[in-house]
Chains A and B, each alone.
Chain A
């Protein structure tokens, strides 16, 4: 097991390096010359060359990459163009807002999908199964940002139950998830984020549980006189390692995929930051945010794999 954990951690390093290469390349594929934007219209070619040298842009790409990588390793992600503040601070601040609602959404989706999946698998073909499958297909097919708009129309415009956007009067500085006045700002983003993973996880749970229920040992359990509830518990425990892997993967996708939902609700997370970067063509901000999110995604996958090897006795033995 320790050998597996060690190897898994070592394998993460080249992936992370690859991530930095792609993030570095993002700046290279962006059209336009960054130096031209900084120069005054009257600047000469010498001025341009001097500025280029000052920013290290006259170096070969490889050298530029390693200089940039060195800065990234000490947490320097450059300055954002629009606000002229360090990107790292801005991203970290937004990242907290993103990860909290992503966590709440994914746990909510997980719990509901386990219940739905078990019901659907236990009564395959029943009305409940069909309804649950319909919900799952809807969750997978719906564009999350449109779902957000629909939620706003229903709960904010028509019913006036929930605030449409933002993080409330207290702002992100004093926001508390344990205060109702604040938390109600988070409800719609959480629901909009939770539905797509709910659909995917329900489908996966349904098919895994259905497969387990067809196996011989379930027959044995029933023959031993276990109640149906106990049999189901056995089936659920059996798919737990898989379910945890699924949970982690979905969490990763949520922190990366929340950009549209956060834009709809102007939730001040990384997605909102990305949208701002796109609108103002703030490439350093875009690059920094992507780098942090992709790194988080890789690390979450690592933790999930390690957790899976811990809780799955079948993996432990190998």
Chain B
């Protein structure tokens, strides 16, 4: 988790030759390649399944995730109706995991989406206009790169305090700089292409060039890169919750569950580790999916 941002930035998403690509046929060829990539497809299905269980948690949860029972604290897997055991307050772990997925998945996807929009916007502006604007935006981003991502998250979150809004804000701020950098690189490559010059010489306005020519070509590297950040964001969020910087206690969240169950590892070691399995599986699925996407979207491959 400490390094996933760095890992992705070490290997920038493959930039494809922007010219000679008709949008429809490009996505068609991407789908054609994905169709035979069973690992990626499996991960996609798995993620959809996880998202659905979180969305429909109230319908499929066997029990009330907030109902505690002093008589049934820390029960093992398969005890009576408790499929995955109970936690330190006697609450059903399975139900809490299903509900916890709502917070944890939101914290994986929403900050990435927000950061993609904000970081992408700054990156496109910096890349397209160059010069002083570029200097100002990119050097500011450089300062944020002086912090390892976990450290920056703990710093901002630690100052702001816990709570779900602060966590969302923190993760978004942490994810903006790498996305901005990718968007800037892609934009400054597209900017020098002949078709942009051609559009300009026909009298197209800056805005229309940005929207019709630049954005469409910058989108795919940025989106591929953003997809690699989802698992980073999930792990960062669970880490913050683990430190008590996420949702407040009665709410279910995978990271927070791990944190409160940590005291019970001597009593129920396996049950205490279960919420981590959810984080691990989700994060692996997103990682493999983004790998598959990257390969499928790389035209040279």
Interface membership of B266, Cβ < 8 A: yes
Report whether over half of chain A's contact residues are helix, strand or loop; otherwise say mixed. helix
Interface membership of A146, Cβ < 8 A: yes
**In whole angstroms, what is the CA distance A213 to B80 when docked?**
58
- Interface pair B148/A256, CB less than 8 Å apart: yes
Q: List 6 A-B contacts (CB under 8 A).
A: A143-B276, A153-B273, A253-B150, A256-B148, A278-B158, A297-B147
Report whether over half of chain B's contact residues are helix, strand or loop; otherwise say mixed. helix
- The A1-34 residues at the B interface (CB cut-off 8 A) are 14-16, 18-19, 21-23, 26-27, 29-31
- Interface pair A200/B3, CB less than 8 Å apart: yes
- Interface pair B262/A275, CB less than 8 Å apart: no
Complex contacts, A141 vs chain B, CB 8 Å: 231, 235, 280, 283-284, 287
- Interface pair B7/A140, CB less than 8 Å apart: yes
- The B255-296 residues at the A interface (CB cut-off 8 A) are 255, 258, 262, 265-266, 269-270, 272-273, 276, 279-280, 283-284, 287-288
- Interface pair A19/B150, CB less than 8 Å apart: no
**In whole angstroms, what is the CA distance A14 to B4 when docked?**
26
**In whole angstroms, what is the CA distance A250 to B262 when docked?**
28
**In whole angstroms, what is the CA distance A18 to B231 when docked?**
28
**In whole angstroms, what is the CA distance A278 to B153 when docked?**
12
- Which candidate, B53-61, B69-77, B204-212, B236-244, is the interface stretch facing chain A? B236-244
Interface membership of A216, Cβ < 8 A: no
Distance to closest chain B CB from A212 (angstroms): 15
- Interface pair B11/A207, CB less than 8 Å apart: yes
Interface residues of A (CB under 8 A from B): 14-16, 18-19, 21-23, 26-27, 29-31, 137-138, 140-146, 149-150, 152-153, 157-158, 196-197, 200, 203-204, 207, 246, 249-250, 252-260, 263-264, 274-275, 277-279, 281, 283, 286, 290, 293-294, 297-298
Known contacts A204-B11, A260-B242, A275-B243; A157/B147 CB under 8 A: no
Complex contacts, A293 vs chain B, CB 8 Å: 148, 151
**In whole angstroms, what is the CA distance A132 to B67 when docked?**
44
- Interface pair A29/B150, CB less than 8 Å apart: no
Q: Which one of B158, B279, B288 lies within 8 Å of A143 (CB-CB)?
A: B279
Chain B 11-41 interface mask (CB, 8 Å, partner A; 1/0): 1000000000000000000000000000000
Q: Which one of A27, A144, A255, A298 lies within 8 Å of B146 (CB-CB)?
A: A298
**In whole angstroms, what is the CA distance A152 to B263 when docked?**
12
- Interface pair A196/B2, CB less than 8 Å apart: yes
Interface membership of B249, Cβ < 8 A: no
Q: Which one of A18, A140, A204, A278 lies within 8 Å of B245 (CB-CB)?
A: A278
Distance to closest chain B CB from A265 (angstroms): 11
- Chain B residue with minimal CB distance to A274? B154
Interface membership of B10, Cβ < 8 A: yes
**In whole angstroms, what is the CA distance A255 to B148 when docked?**
9
Known contacts A30-B160, A196-B1, A277-B158; A143/B235 CB under 8 A: yes
**In whole angstroms, what is the CA distance A274 to B150 when docked?**
12
- Interface pair B269/A256, CB less than 8 Å apart: no
Distance to closest chain A CB from B239 (angstroms): 5
**In whole angstroms, what is the CA distance A75 to B238 when docked?**
34
- The B132-154 residues at the A interface (CB cut-off 8 A) are 139-140, 142-144, 146-151, 154
Interface membership of B45, Cβ < 8 A: no
Complex contacts, B3 vs chain A, CB 8 Å: 196-197, 200, 249-250, 253-254, 257
Complex contacts, B158 vs chain A, CB 8 Å: 26, 274, 277-278, 286
Complex contacts, B243 vs chain A, CB 8 Å: 259-260, 263, 275, 278
- Chain B residue with minimal CB distance to A203? B7
Complex contacts, A18 vs chain B, CB 8 Å: 139-140, 142-143, 146
- Interface pair A19/B143, CB less than 8 Å apart: yes
Distance to closest chain B CB from A99 (angstroms): 14
- Interface pair A256/B265, CB less than 8 Å apart: no
- Chain B residue with minimal CB distance to A27? B159
**In whole angstroms, what is the CA distance A141 to B276 when docked?**
11
Complex contacts, A263 vs chain B, CB 8 Å: 242-243
Known contacts A137-B287, A144-B2, A290-B151; A22/B273 CB under 8 A: no
- Chain A residue with minimal CB distance to B281? A141
Interface membership of B52, Cβ < 8 A: no
Distance to closest chain A CB from B148 (angstroms): 3
Q: Which one of A142, A149, A249 lies within 8 Å of B265 (CB-CB)?
A: A149
Distance to closest chain B CB from A55 (angstroms): 18
- Interface pair A294/B146, CB less than 8 Å apart: yes
B1, B245, B284: most-surrounded residue (chain A CB, <10 A): B1
- Chain B residue with minimal CB distance to A250? B3
- Interface pair A257/B1, CB less than 8 Å apart: yes
Complex contacts, A281 vs chain B, CB 8 Å: 161
- Interface pair B150/A257, CB less than 8 Å apart: yes
A27, A30, A141, A250: most-surrounded residue (chain B CB, <10 A): A141
**In whole angstroms, what is the CA distance A141 to B142 when docked?**
26
**In whole angstroms, what is the CA distance A150 to B280 when docked?**
12
- Interface pair A31/B239, CB less than 8 Å apart: no
- Considering the complex of A and B, which 8 residue pairs feature the smallest CB-CB distances, nearest first? A257-B2, A256-B148, A18-B143, A146-B276, A256-B151, A257-B150, A141-B283, A153-B269
Distance to closest chain A CB from B178 (angstroms): 13
Interface membership of B164, Cβ < 8 A: no
- Chain A residue with minimal CB distance to B7? A200
Interface membership of B216, Cβ < 8 A: no
